[in-house]
Every structure is written in C-alpha cells, then in structure tokens.
C-alpha cells in the first residue's frame, strides 16, 4: 500500500474511521468483500455513516491455518474460535470436525492470542501463519480455506489521495423510489454509456422500512465525461446519490501469495 508506513491496529471497524477522522492516522484499511464469504456489510453501512472518501483498494490472497498450543493434536480440539468471515471461508473443513463447537469472535489474531494467553488445551483458532509465529502456536492443519484462490478486497479511506495515479474506479450509493422498473432505470444510466458495473450491493435503508440503499462500483473515474453525465442523469430521478470515492483500482498482485488471514485492519 504505502512502503514504510507505520501500522496501527484497531479493535473495531468503527475505530478505524475514528482514528482517521481525528488525525491519529493518515488513512484506514477496511475489508469490504471476500471471494468466498462475500461482503462485509458493516463496512458498507460505515462508508455511508462517515464522510471519509475511498482513496484506494487492495486485494490480498488469504490462507487460513488451524492453530493450537504446541503438542496438541486435532483429536484434542473441542472448540474452534475465529472471526465469522474466516469461519465462513473454511466451512467445508469445519464440517469434517465431529463434536467440535464453532465459536465466532471479533478477530482471527485475537482468537489465536486468547488461546496462547489462556493456555487453552482443548481449543484452536483459525488464523494466519504470522499469528502462529507471534503467539507461539502450532498449525494442526494448513491452507484450510475452501478455495485456493481465497482473496479479500480491502478499501483504503482517508482525506487525501494515496498517490498521483489517476483514478479509474468509482464507488457510489443511491436510493430509488419504490416503483416498477426503478432499479432498471437506475442502472440503465450506466449501461447506456458503456460504463461497466463491477459490484452491486443492496443494504436496508434504516430510515425507511423495506426500502434499500444501492451500492455500486463503476469501472470509470468520477470525472470521466461519460461517468459525469451518467451521475447527473441518475440525480434527475434518484432521491439520493452520493459518490463514496473515485480511486485507482487494484492491480493484480505478483509473486508469492501474502499468507495471512482476515484480521481487524490497521
């Protein structure tokens, strides 16, 4: 992301936004979707609740490990702890475990730390190889995610662009009137101008029962003429349209995969 940047851990996604807002960090990194577990809905809601723009994105290959105290075996494990997303990404492996309680926690690394600190003899955590190194745990099983290409996409939020690279992607959120063909009409403003949609997500609109917010990622910069015209067209009939950020899209990673699991971001 930024070479040489100091990493500051946060306990919750809300804390990430707060740290950037109060200036204690320059930018925040938040998981937004996983290729197996799907979207992290809380962060869609937080993007709307805060005014910090999206200034970048990064995709990271995710490799999960089942970690326990040294000397433990798989037959010793009666409980498995991890973040709900990590549990979802390892569902097929977890189904092979008999008589084991699956317990959701706030963090993958935090689950590993709990097992190490409390010396839990009958428990294991789904976490990263790095967590095993830091907390002195051993891997009972490695690469237990359901698919080898398991990847999490993270968004970077902050008051300033990360670099001088020209944006080629834009994230927006909008509402529509509850009437026939409203969503078709809303998406048509982009189709008519050959703007590709790379993501479409609906979330409940808390202020209006059974109405929805539509989050869309566009493969275009917000100041591209076609995108500017599409957004102006959408504003003509959508009750609310907000640009969440226009930023450079993630370039495919090269080299060996980064072997770590989903953790509360810095």
| Catalytic sites, residue numbers | 152, 154
CA distance 111 to 84: 11
| Of residues 118, 156, 159, 151, the one with CA closest to residue 137 | 118
Bridge partners of residue 85, in order along the sequence: none
Unique residue bearing structure tokens 């490695």? 142
DSSP percent split of the chain into helix, strand, coil, nearest 5: 25, 30, 45
DSSP state of 62: B
Residue 88 structure tokens: 């979802």
Q: Which helix (H) or strand (E) holds 215?
A: strand 212-218
Give 133-152 as a DSSP string.
HHHT-EEEEE--SSSTT-EE
DSSP state of 222: T
For the chain, where are the alpha helices, taking DSSP H only? 13-21, 41-49, 84-89, 91-95, 108-118, 129-135, 182-191, 225-235
């Amino acid at each position: 992301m930024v070479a040489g940047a100091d990493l500051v851990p946060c306990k919750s996604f809300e804390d990430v936004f707060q740290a950037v807002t109060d200036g204690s960090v320059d930018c925040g990194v938040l998981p937004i979707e996983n290729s197996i577990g799907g979207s992290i809905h809380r962060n869609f809601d937080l993007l709307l609740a805060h005014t910090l723009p999206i200034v970048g994105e990064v995709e990271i290959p995710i490799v999960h490990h089942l970690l326990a105290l040294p000397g433990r075996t798989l037959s010793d494990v009666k409980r498995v702890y991890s973040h709900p997303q990590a549990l979802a990404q390892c569902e097929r492996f977890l189904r092979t475990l008999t008589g084991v309680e699956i317990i959701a926690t706030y963090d993958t690394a935090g689950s590993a730390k709990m097992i190490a600190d409390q010396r839990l003899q009958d428990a294991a955590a789904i976490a990263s190889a790095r967590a095993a190194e830091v907390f002195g745990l051993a891997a009972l099983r490695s690469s237990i995610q359901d698919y080898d290409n398991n990847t999490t996409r993270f968004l970077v939020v902050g008051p300033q662009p990360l670099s001088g690279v020209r944006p080629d992607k834009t994230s927006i959120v909008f509402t529509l009137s509850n009437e026939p063909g409203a969503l078709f009409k809303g998406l048509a403003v982009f189709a008519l101008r050959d703007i590709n949609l790379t993501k479409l997500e609906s979330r409940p609109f808390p202020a209006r029962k059974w109405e929805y917010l539509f989050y869309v990622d566009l493969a275009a910069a917000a100041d591209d003429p076609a995108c500017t015209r599409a957004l102006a067209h959408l504003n003509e009939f959508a009750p609310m349209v907000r640009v969440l950020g226009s930023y450079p899209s993630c370039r495919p990673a090269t080299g060996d995969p980064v072997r770590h699991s989903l953790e509360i971001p810095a």
